Amino acid sequence: MTTVLPMPWVYLIIAGLLEVCWAIGLKYSHGFTKPVPSLFTLVTLAGSMFLLAKAAQSLPIGTAYGVWVGIGALGAAILGIVLFHEA
């Protein structure tokens, strides 16, 4: 028997992963002075916000926001350590 996540949770998980992408993209954009990383950052930011809003249509906002921030913070911290050798 397989369990399928309801779509709002799928949206929320993808939104959280996109939050990690745009947070890391900020570092690579060097203050939005590099065009390609800047565009990547803006596109992933918009996608993350859109999917968070879609998830929040069905899920309580406290739950949606908490999970979204949690995925983003954990992912950004881990990638900061791996990619940028941060403490």
**How do the residues of the chain divide into helix, strand and coil, expressed in percent and rounded to 5?**
80, 0, 20
CA 79 from chain centre, in angstroms, equals: 12
Q: What is the pLDDT of residue 57?
A: 96
- Residue ranges of the chain with per-residue pLDDT less than 70: 1-2
Question: Residue 1 has what pLDDT?
Answer: 61
What pLDDT is stored for residue 64 in this prediction? 97
Exposed (0-12), middle (13-18) or buried (19+): which is 16, by Cβ within 10 Å?
buried
